[in-house]
Amino acid sequence: MASRRGLDGRQRDQNGEIRKKRSDTKVGTLRNELGPGFAPGYRSDTHLGRILKDNHVDSLSELLKRK
């Protein structure tokens, strides 16, 4: 069974859970998915892990909830 897209556009695994973004995902990739305003002040080659650490959060979803 192929992955399905959720209401928010994120991919879901076969069991329906939203896949987590890896900490080595680059900001440029996330800007393509989330819009050009994601992570202002960070270069496009910055890894998600750096942003999570700088903002003291554990996941992208937690970061997005704060913004």
Domain residues for the domain of 61 are 21-66
Residue 36 lies inside a defined structural domain of this protein: yes
Cα-trace Rg, the chain: 12
Quick check: 1 pLDDT over 50? no
Distance CA 66, CA 55 (A): 9
Q: What is the pLDDT of residues 4-24, one digit of tens each?
A: 555 555 555 555 555 577 889
Q: Which residues have a Cβ under 8 Å from the Cβ of 57 and sit 6 or more positions away? A: 63, 66
Residue 13 lies inside a defined structural domain of this protein: no
Residue 8 lies inside a defined structural domain of this protein: no
Domains in the chain, number:
1
Residue 60 lies inside a defined structural domain of this protein: yes
What pLDDT was estimated at residue 10? 55
What pLDDT was estimated at residue 66? 87
Q: What is the pLDDT of residues 22-36, one digit of tens each?
A: 889 999 999 999 999
Q: Is the pTM of this model over 0.85?
A: no
